[in-house]
Amino acid sequence: GEDVEQSLFLSVREGDSSVINCTYTDSSSTYLYWYKQEPGAGLQLLTYIFSNMDMKQDQRLTVLLNKKDKHLSLRIADTQTGDSAIYFCAERYNNNDMRFGAGTRLTVKP
Partner 1 sequence: DTEVTQTPKHLVMGMTNKKSLKCEQHMGHRAMYWYKQKAKKPPELMFVYSYEKLSINESVPSRFSPECPNSSLLNLHLHALQPEDSALYLCASSQAAVAGGAGELFFGEGSRLTVL
Total residues at interface with partner 1 (CB under 8 A): 21
- Taking the C-alpha atoms of residue 99 and residue 63, their distance in angstroms, rounded to an integer, is 18
Verify binding: residue 1, partner 1, rule CB under 8 A.
no
- Taking the C-alpha atoms of residue 89 and residue 83, their distance in angstroms, rounded to an integer, is 16
Q: Binding to partner 1 (CB under 8 A): which residues in 49-68? A: 50
- Taking the C-alpha atoms of residue 3 and residue 61, their distance in angstroms, rounded to an integer, is 24
Residues in the chain: 110
Verify binding: residue 101, partner 1, rule CB under 8 A.
yes
* DSSP assigned state of 81: G
- Taking the C-alpha atoms of residue 83 and residue 69, their distance in angstroms, rounded to an integer, is 27
Verify binding: residue 72, partner 1, rule CB under 8 A.
no
Verify binding: residue 40, partner 1, rule CB under 8 A.
yes
With contacts defined by CB under 8 A, name the span among 20-28, 56-64, 67-75, 98-106 that binds partner 1.
Answer: 98-106
Site residues (vs partner 1, CB under 8 A): 31, 33, 35, 40-45, 48, 50, 88, 92, 95-98, 100-103
